Amino acid sequence: MSIILNNISKSYNKVKAVDDISFEVKPGELFGLIGPDGAGKTTLFRILTTLLIQDKGNATVAGYDVLKQYKDIRNHVGYMPGRFSLYQDLTVEENLNFFATIFGTTIAENYDLIKDIYVQIEPFKDRRAGKLSGGMKQKLALSCALIHKPKVLFLDEPTTGVDPVSRKEFWEMLKRLQQKDITILVSTPYMDEAELCDRIALITNGKILQINTPGAIIASFPKKIFKVRSFNTYKLIEDLRIYPDTHSAYPFGEYLHFTPKSEAFRPMDLTKYLEERQHKEIEVKETVATIEDTFMDLSKANE
């Protein structure tokens, strides 16, 4: 196993940031930690990269214990924190050189690994890192995290605040890195990115809700789910909230996702109810759950 966590807990004062978390990441796996701000993702990353000591439990990364062998871990992992943490006053090339030197290597030695990513910012190699655009900073940070050829790569919310186009490109880069035998643990608050991982852990309030492949998580959604639409979305939300058979009703793009309380629910009953309430252009259709539906259902059940 590339990463093993056994019953890891960490509190800040009285707040349990990470509460008894265990999971394993296989070699070469692209594993996603999916959860909102404050779920405990960053705390986990900091424990696994030996920057923070857990209160309870133990963990290994690339076979090394996070407490006893922290120096070995530091030599064998790459870490890209959520906040841009390179030297703003050094140029692109100076930053990369700096990180290569610290790890006792050179840019030339591992150029192969970063080539794909680095060529895109190489034309700006004399520019100071602080003057780069968001997307270019991200590419530089990833190059620096990779320059010593790590066995395990930790990426803490690399795509937060990044537009959909750049996000897509970033995930394509990750997929290519995975081909080079690097284990990747990545966190994101964007549920649509979950489907790009081999396996994911849904995490909220310091606890894991579920771990599995994205497909299995979607398939495990326990209820029938319907997409509902009418001309006035706001009124639709209000009316679904007071509909007696509503278990949940959440906006989902142009539709609302609706789950009924009763097994015997029939779409035509809901259509009739909405017609009585003067809705127009009504559509009620059974649909397939997404990771986000599952996440909301599980966190609702956990409250």
Partner 1 sequence: MTEDNMIQVENLTKMFGDFTAVNNISFEVGKGEVFGFLGANGAGKTTAMKMLIGISEPTHGNATVAGYNVLTHAEHVKRNIGYMSQRFSLYNDLTIKENIVFFGGIYGLSSADIKEKSQAMINELGLHDMADSLVGSLPLGWKQKVAFSVAMLHNPKIIFLDEPTGGVDPITRRQFWEMIYMEANRGVTIFVTTHYMDEAEYCDRVSIMVAGKIEALDTPKNLKRQFQVDSMNQVFLKLARNIE
Residue 299 binds partner 1 (CB under 8 A): yes
| Beta-bridge partners for 185 | 31, 154
Residue 168 binds partner 1 (CB under 8 A): yes
Residue 277 binds partner 1 (CB under 8 A): no
* Phi, psi of 129, rounded to the nearest 5 degrees: -60, -35
Q: Which stretch binds partner 1 (CB under 8 A): 97-105, 115-123, 178-186, 233-241?
A: 233-241
Block residue for tokens 């326990």? 222
Residue 183's Cβ-count burial label (10 Å; 0-12, 13-18, 19+) is: buried
- By the 8 A CB rule, do 122 and 133 touch? no
Residue 251 binds partner 1 (CB under 8 A): yes
Q: Which stretch binds partner 1 (CB under 8 A): 104-112, 212-220, 248-256, 263-271?
A: 248-256
* Cα–Cα dist 11/276, whole Å: 52
Residue 237 binds partner 1 (CB under 8 A): yes
Q: Which is nearer to partner 1, 234 or 264 (CB)?
A: 234
* Cα–Cα dist 107/143, whole Å: 10
Residue 172 binds partner 1 (CB under 8 A): no
Of 33, 66, 191, 217, which lies in the binding site for partner 1, with binding defined by CB under 8 A?
A: 191
Smallest separation, CB 39 to partner 1 (Å): 8
Q: Which is nearer to partner 1, 35 or 81 (CB)?
A: 35
Residue 173 binds partner 1 (CB under 8 A): no
Smallest separation, CB 189 to partner 1 (Å): 5
Smallest separation, CB 49 to partner 1 (Å): 21
* Cα–Cα dist 182/149, whole Å: 9
Binding mask 25-64 for partner 1 (x = CB under 8 A): ----------xxxxx-------------------------
Smallest separation, CB 299 to partner 1 (Å): 7
Smallest separation, CB 261 to partner 1 (Å): 18
Q: Return the closest-CA partner of residue 62 out of 23, 115, 93, 25.
A: 25
Residue 296 binds partner 1 (CB under 8 A): yes
Residue 211 binds partner 1 (CB under 8 A): no
Q: Which stretch binds partner 1 (CB under 8 A): 53-61, 63-71, 263-271, 294-302?
A: 294-302
Of 87, 111, 124, 252, which lies in the binding site for partner 1, with binding defined by CB under 8 A?
A: 252
Of 135, 173, 221, 247, which lies in the binding site for partner 1, with binding defined by CB under 8 A?
A: 135
Q: Which stretch binds partner 1 (CB under 8 A): 62-70, 109-117, 245-253, 262-270?
A: 245-253
Cα–Cα distances in angstroms (integers) from residue 275 to residues 164, 234, 270, 279, in the given order: 37, 15, 9, 5
Binding site for partner 1 (CB under 8 A): 35-39, 133-135, 157, 160-168, 189-192, 204, 233-234, 237, 250-254, 292, 295-296, 299-300
